[in-house]
């Protein structure tokens, strides 16, 4: 069964860093564009960042630009989200999601990992 599995979430103080990982099982991540999408408690979906198959193109939401970095290690079949200068408003479930070919729609999602930013 094809799966995306996120890890690395947890409780962090405002201003602190955290790195999320996403592993693919049953799929070779290097074949796909990938994204991070988040969902604050009780709220809707918010696109965070996207990365091209080879990592040569990256796109970020304005709300995280300059603070978050999306990256990938295709040899390890892993996707990352390095989050720095975290704010209370970054508290959310973070999903990694696979794009459908070159189309920026998400046909496979992980189960999500919770990030809580609080003092």
Partner 1 sequence: EVVLTQSPATLSLSPGERATLSCRASQSVGTYLAWYQQKPGQAPRFLMYDASSRATGIPARFSGSGSGTDFTLTISSLLPDDAATYYCQHYTSYPITFGQGTRLEIK
Q: Is residue 85 close enough to count as binding partner 1 by CB under 8 A?
A: no
Q: Tell me which of 18, 29, 32, 50 binds partner 1, using CB under 8 A.
A: 50
Q: Is residue 110 close enough to count as binding partner 1 by CB under 8 A?
A: yes
Which among 13-21, 41-49, 69-77, 80-88 is the span making contact with partner 1, rule CB under 8 A? 41-49
Closer Cβ to partner 1, 80 or 106, answer by number: 106
x/- map, 52-81, partner 1, by CB under 8 A: -------x-xx-------------------
For CA atoms 31, 68, 6, 91, the dihedral sign is negative
DSSP annotation string for 26-66: SS-GGGS-EEEEEE-TT--EEEEEEE-TTSS-EEE-TTTTT
CB contact at 8 A, 37 and 27 = no
Closer Cβ to partner 1, 44 or 66, answer by number: 44
For residue 84, give both structure tokens.
Answer: 């720095």
Q: Is residue 8 close enough to count as binding partner 1 by CB under 8 A?
A: no
Chain position carrying tokens 């970095």: 69
Dihedral (Cα; 32, 38, 43, 44), 10-degree rounding: -20
Residues near partner 1 (CB under 8 A) = 35, 44-47, 50, 59, 61-62, 95, 100, 103-112
């Amino acid at each position: 069964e094809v799966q995306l599995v996120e890890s690395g979430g947890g409780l962090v103080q405002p201003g602190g860093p955290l790195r999320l990982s996403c592993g693919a099982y049953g799929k070779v991540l290097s074949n796909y564009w990938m994204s991070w999408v988040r969902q604050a408690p009780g709220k809707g979906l918010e696109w965070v960042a996207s990365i091209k198959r080879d990592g040569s193109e990256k796109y970020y939401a304005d709300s995280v630009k300059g603070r978050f970095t999306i990256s990938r290690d295709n040899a390890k079949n892993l996707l990352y989200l390095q989050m720095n200068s975290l704010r209370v408003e970054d508290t959310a479930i973070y999903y990694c999601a696979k794009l459908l070919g070159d189309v920026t729609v998400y046909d496979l999602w992980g189960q999500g990992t919770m990030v809580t930013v609080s003092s």
